[in-house]
Amino acid sequence: MTDKNNIQILTVLALIGLVIGGIGPYFGLISDLLQAVICIITLPVFVIGVMLLWKYRDGDEDYPFMGY
């Protein structure tokens, strides 16, 4: 597997974790404490994954929202 595929898989898993962390307490699946832990772990992973995948969109090394 390439780095791009690994980053894509990790980013999708982080997104799934954010969804589960967001709706879990409303359905009684997880506690509020577990929701906090899941979101604290998955939110940075998702954001960093999107930033790393951005460079694969057309091969450039620029990043979004950085002013260049």
CA distances from residue 29 to 3, 14, 16 in whole angstroms, order as listed: 33, 18, 15
- Residue 43 in tokens: 């939110």
Question: Helix or strand or coil: residue 51?
Answer: helix
Q: How confident is residue 61, by pLDDT bands cut at 50, 70 and 90? A: low
Task: Give the model confidence (pLDDT) of 14-60 as tens digits.
Answer: 999 888 888 888 887 788 888 889 889 999 999 998 888 877 776 55
Model pTM? 0.71
